[in-house]
A = this chain, B = another copy of it.
Amino acid sequence: MLGVVLTSGGMDSCVTTAIAARECQKIALLHVSYGQRTQARELKAFNDIADFYQVEQRLVTNIAHLAQIGGSSLTDRTIEISPANLETTEIPTSYVPFRNAHLLAIATSWAEVISAGRIYIGAVAEDSSGYPDCRPEFYQAFQQAISVGTKPETQIEIITPVIALRKSEIVQRGLALGAPLQLSWSCYQGESLACGVCDSCALRLRGFREAGVRDPLPYAIEI
């Protein structure tokens, strides 16, 4: 079984890559830049993780239209990245409208052409930012779109192995699998030091804290 893995370079996708490497005979890694602020740093993390797993089949794409379309603090520098508020149920400014549908569409086209049977994506539903396109219902609906929207002989299954995990469980799972968490990058703002205060840093740091492990990344603040 060949599996396509959507590897952004963040912690969740790093652990998802480790899971896919364990479950599939072979993996192919897909990275999608979308004009987000830290795209160069994330691409480096992607390549570091791909090197770690000695993956030859890599596809790096850029969907600049997400930045053209805007509507998110990640792609539009006139919108401020709000500091993390892990208590609220509001959708944060970092939400990139319907982003994960773009990622899955690219993964599906690639999977259909290279005859991969699975697409792994490291979406996290509960213990996360509240993005609507991270919920299980979204993946169920998209699975149906794949089933009816590709060739009859194409069989592609979306796998979301960390969707129901807490961040601390993702850290623990990654450690258990020997995932290279030190090579991943989660921060929405920094490229040499992680800021420690954006949504993504806050969630990651809470995960490490709850797991009782120190995050190996360098931070601009005391962690």
Asked if A65 and B59 make an inter-chain contact with CB atoms under 8 angstroms apart, the answer reads yes
A73 to B146 Cα, complex, angstroms: 21
Number of copies: 2
Query: Which residues in B have their C-beta under 8 angstroms from that of A97?
Result: 108-109, 112-113, 150-151
| Complex CA–CA separation, A135 to B56 (angstroms) | 35
Residue of B nearest to A107 (CB): B98
20 of the cross-chain contacts (CB-CB < 8 Å) are A65-B109, A69-B109, A71-B109, A91-B151, A97-B112, A97-B151, A98-B105, A98-B108, A98-B112, A101-B145, A102-B102, A102-B105, A102-B106, A132-B148, A138-B145, A138-B149, A141-B142, A141-B144, A141-B145, A141-B149
- Do B151 and A141 touch (CB < 8 A)? no
Partner of A110, one of B63, B69, B110: B69
Is A70 located at the chain interface by the 8 A CB criterion? Answer: yes
Binary per-residue interface labels of chain A (40-82) against chain B in the complex, 1 for a CB within 8 Å, 0 otherwise: 0000000000000000000101111110111100000000000
Q: Does A100 contact B (CB under 8 A)?
A: yes
| A157, CB-defined interface residue at 8 Å | no
Tell me if B106 and A65 are in contact (CB < 8 A).
yes
- B-facing residues in A81-129 (Cβ within 8 Å): 91, 95-102, 104-106, 108-110, 112-113
Contact B113 A133 (CB under 8 A): no
A172 vs B105: C-alpha distance in the bound complex, in angstroms? 34
Does A222 sit within 8 A of B, measured CB to CB?
A: no
Q: For A147, what are the chain B residues with a Cβ–Cβ distance below 8 Å? A: 141
Q: A59-B69, A145-B141 are in contact. Are A109 and B113 (CB under 8 A)?
A: no
How far, in whole Å, are A138 and B113 apart by their CA atoms in the complex? Answer: 19
- Interface check A178, CB cutoff 8 A: no
> Which residues in B have their C-beta under 8 angstroms from that of A104?
101
**A210-B146 Cα distance, complex, nearest whole Å:** 34
Quote the shortest CB–CB distance from A163 to chain B (angstroms): 14
Given A69-B109, A98-B149, A141-B142, 12 more contacts at CB 8 Å?
A63-B65, A69-B110, A69-B113, A71-B109, A95-B151, A96-B109, A101-B149, A102-B102, A137-B148, A141-B145, A141-B148, A142-B149
